[in-house]
């Protein structure tokens, strides 16, 4: 119970930086979609470039975050050497990547379809290189149990980014006549998005002064690096396949629907996918606390039972979030501009895919704890193959809806493979019956909301959907009363 309380406590703090911070950042989506028309394809460009950025970030960190946790928690290992070795390796790779992109910017930007705008790619390359370097520094904060500094730096980026974006999109158009605003051109709004990201990312690096001061190149250990690379290379493959599962649709769609149509559809789909990203926020917040928690407690005899219960609670909460979004989609849809809303039918599919991705992450610890990380690469590769096949076959026929279904199918395959193989390699007593029961309940209630959606009255729809939510909450509270009873008694004593 104490371990679960520690997990919950850290999750709340990391969640403030992940969920609250990224939620505030997502408030930029209406700013973008209300000021960049779907027909221009501009938001499609943003979605596409950031998909490449996410993929490259995984390549440049090559699993070193997880590897850092694994080695920093081993007995008899110098944690400072682990930190300096990991940071040196990632920093060197990131610097080499940035140099190569700058030297070959012409061919690189042409390959990505932006030969007319190489500045997009320059900015993207710099952002991803700095992000990779910062990944180990943020991992150091998590390992040292410093969630509040983690929170402060994440929020600093968000606040600065939001402020600059609001200035460019809401203030600058009205001040463009002023002499000192000669740099501003409304046609360059997409470029400004990338430049703001680069500026804010660079500024955050200054907040790691103390951690960088602790860095010593002399502490880089070649023997330790060899061990870490042996552990991390399967994680690199796993990471590439895993992030490709998340970004493949946004990378492939413009290529499968060439020309302006591909970017237009990608922009519409990408905007609606943002509505479903609540699941990604929950999963990320959970991961930040869960990863060091699991590795730190791998010698605890109760760790397997704790993992099983934590997975169940994760699923319970994400299903509640799924129902919340679907019950109030009539209101949430105004989060994006009107000409982007045609892709709203993809939202429940993408949200369910995100839930499966979170479950897959929870199940993944069996091969990380046993050192059999290559299993993760194999399973993710199979899931990715399913996703890519569905995209290639069906995107030319049905457009972006194939992207949504491809993600759901790919993660579904990963979950099944990880569960059944994992139970043979590292058995964890997951409460499968309870988990499937919650899934059945949530999907049945979602089916009810689709019937309620046919009613004409908005207020009646919202009222009935609220009752649907309360049914789910009531069932969860009743089923989990054994866990909640001690908490309620403690509150009543006060």
What pLDDT is recorded for position 299? 47
C-alpha closest to that of 127 among 209, 239, 44, 203: 203
The predicted model gives 277-294 an average pLDDT of 60
What pLDDT is recorded for position 465? 93
- pLDDT level of residue 384 (50, 70, 90 thresholds): confident
Per-residue HEC secondary structure of the chain comes to CHHHHHHHHHHHHHHHHHHHHHHHHHCHHHHHHHHCCHHHCHHHHHHHHHHHHHHHHHHHHCCHHHHHHHHHCCCCCCHHHHHHHHHHHHHHHHHHHHHHHHHCHHHHHHHCCCCCCHHHHHHHHHHHHHHHHHHHHHHHHHHCCCHHHHHHHHHHHHHHHHHHHHHHHHHHHHHCCCHHHCCCCHHHHHHHHHHHHHHHHHHHHHHHHHHHHCCCHHHCCHHHHHHHHHHHHHHHHHHHHHHHHHHHHHHHHHHHCCCHHHHHHHHHHHHHHHHHCHHHHHHHHHHHHHHHHHHHCCCCCCHHHHHHHHHHHHHHHHHHHHHHHHHCHHHHHHHCCHHHHHHHHHHHHHHHHHHHHHHHHHHCHHHHHCCCCHHHHHHHHHHHHHHHHHHHHHHHHHCCHHHHHHHHHHHHHHHHHHHHHHHHHCCCCCCHHHHHHHHHHHHHHHHHHHHHCCCCCHHHHHHHHHHHHHHHHHHHHHHCHHHHHHHHHHHHHC
The predicted model gives 175-198 an average pLDDT of 87
Is pLDDT of 460 > 80?
yes
The answer to whether the beta carbons of residues 369 and 298 sit under 8 Å apart is: yes
What pLDDT is recorded for position 15? 56
Range of weakest confidence among 220-229, 296-305, 465-474: 296-305
d(CA 64, CA 477): 39
What pLDDT is recorded for position 412? 93
- pLDDT level of residue 279 (50, 70, 90 thresholds): low
- The backbone torsions φ and ψ at residue 27, rounded to the nearest 5 degrees and listed phi first, read -65, -15
Q: What is the pLDDT of residues 386-411, one digit of tens each?
A: 999 999 999 998 888 999 999 899 99
Is pLDDT of 482 > 80?
no
What pLDDT is recorded for position 301? 46
Is pLDDT of 227 > 50?
yes
C-alpha closest to that of 292 among 76, 72, 491, 474: 72
What pLDDT is recorded for position 167? 93
What average pLDDT is seen over the chain? 83
The predicted model gives 414-438 an average pLDDT of 89
- The backbone torsions φ and ψ at residue 430, rounded to the nearest 5 degrees and listed phi first, read -65, 135
Q: What is the pLDDT of residues 39-63, one digit of tens each?
A: 888 888 898 999 999 899 989 988 8
The predicted model gives 466-487 an average pLDDT of 82
C-alpha closest to that of 268 among 47, 113, 24, 26: 47
And the tokens for 7?
């997990």
C-alpha closest to that of 6 among 296, 282, 361: 296
What pLDDT is recorded for position 464? 94
Range of weakest confidence among 158-167, 303-312, 349-358, 457-466: 303-312
Place of tokens 């705008």: 117
The predicted model gives 248-273 an average pLDDT of 86
Burial class for 321, CB neighbours closer than 10 Å (0-12, 13-18, 19+): middle
* The pTM of the whole model exceeds 0.75: yes
The predicted model gives 224-253 an average pLDDT of 81
What pLDDT is recorded for position 485? 63
Is pLDDT of 494 > 80?
no
Q: What is the pLDDT of residues 121-137, one digit of tens each?
A: 999 999 999 999 998 88
Is pLDDT of 372 > 60?
yes
Q: What is the pLDDT of residues 141-168, one digit of tens each?
A: 877 777 778 888 888 888 899 999 999 9
The percent of residues in the chain predicted with pLDDT above 70, rounded, is: 86
Q: What is the pLDDT of residues 189-203, one digit of tens each?
A: 889 999 999 999 999
What pLDDT is recorded for position 298? 46
d(CA 131, CA 125): 10
Q: What is the pLDDT of residues 66-122, one digit of tens each?
A: 888 778 777 666 777 888 888 888 899 999 999 999 999 999 999 888 888 899 999
More confident position, 164 or 336: 164
What pLDDT is recorded for position 151? 82
Is pLDDT of 491 > 50?
no
What pLDDT is recorded for position 224? 82
Is pLDDT of 4 > 60?
no
C-alpha closest to that of 200 among 164, 163, 157, 159: 157
Between vectors from CA 161 to CA 141 and to CA 185, what angle results, nearest 5°?
150
d(CA 333, CA 271): 10
- pLDDT level of residue 289 (50, 70, 90 thresholds): low
What pLDDT is recorded for position 297? 47
């Amino acid at each position: 119970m104490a371990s679960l309380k520690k997990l919950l406590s850290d999750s709340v703090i990391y969640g403030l930086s992940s969920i609250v911070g990224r939620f505030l950042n997502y408030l930029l989506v209406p700013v973008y979609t209300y000021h960049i028309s779907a027909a221009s394809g501009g938001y499609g460009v943003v979605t596409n470039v950031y998909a490449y950025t996410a993929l490259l970030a995984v390549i440049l960190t090559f699993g070193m975050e997880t590897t850092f946790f694994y080695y920093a928690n081993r007995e008899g290992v110098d944690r400072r050497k682990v930190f300096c070795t990991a940071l040196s390796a990632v920093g060197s790779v990131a610097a080499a990547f940035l140099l190569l992109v700058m030297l070959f910017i012409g061919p690189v930007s042409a390959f990505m379809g932006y030969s007319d705008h190489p500045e997009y790619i320059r900015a993207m390359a710099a952002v991803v290189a700095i992000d990779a370097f910062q990944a180990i520094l943020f991992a150091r904060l998590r390992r040292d149990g410093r969630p509040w500094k983690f929170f402060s730096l994440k929020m600093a980026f968000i606040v600065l980014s939001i402020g600059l974006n609001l200035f460019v999109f809401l203030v600058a158009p009205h001040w463009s006549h002023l002499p000192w605003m000669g740099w501003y051109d409304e046609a360059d709004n997409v470029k400004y998005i990338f430049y703001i990201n680069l500026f804010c990312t660079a500024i955050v690096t200054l907040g790691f002064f103390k951690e960088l001061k602790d860095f010593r190149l002399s502490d880089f250990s070649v023997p330790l690096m060899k061990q870490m690379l042996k552990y991390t290379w399967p994680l690199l493959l796993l990471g590439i396949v895993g992030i490709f599962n998340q970004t493949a649709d946004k990378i492939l769609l413009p290529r499968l629907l060439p020309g302006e149509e591909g970017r237009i559809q990608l922009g519409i789909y990408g905007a609606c996918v943002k509505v479903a990203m609540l699941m990604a926020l929950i999963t990320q917040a959970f991961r930040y606390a869960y990863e060091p928690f699991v590795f730190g407690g791998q010698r605890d005899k109760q760790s397997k039972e704790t993992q099983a219960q934590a997975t169940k609670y994760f699923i319970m909460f994400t299903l509640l979030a799924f129902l919340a979004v679907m019950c109030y989609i009539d209101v949430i849809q105004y989060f994006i501009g009107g000409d982007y809303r045609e892709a709203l039918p993809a939202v429940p599919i993408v949200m369910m895919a995100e839930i499966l991705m979170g479950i897959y992450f929870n199940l993944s610890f069996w091969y990380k704890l046993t050192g059999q990380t290559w299993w993760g690469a194999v399973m993710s590769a199979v899931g990715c193959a399913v996703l890519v096949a569905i995209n290639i076959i069906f995107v030319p026929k049905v457009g972006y809806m194939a992207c949504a279904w491809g993600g759901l199918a790919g993660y579904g395959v990963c979950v099944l493979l990880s569960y059944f193989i994992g139970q043979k390699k590292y058995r964890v007593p997951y409460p499968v019956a309870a988990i499937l029961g919650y899934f059945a309940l949530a999907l049945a209630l979602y089916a009810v909301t689709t019937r309620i959606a046919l009613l004409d009255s908005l207020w009646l729809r919202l009222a009935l959907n609220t009752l649907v939510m309360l049914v789910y909450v009531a069932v969860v509270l009743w089923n989990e009363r054994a866990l909640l009873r001690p908490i309620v008694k403690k509150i009543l004593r006060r």
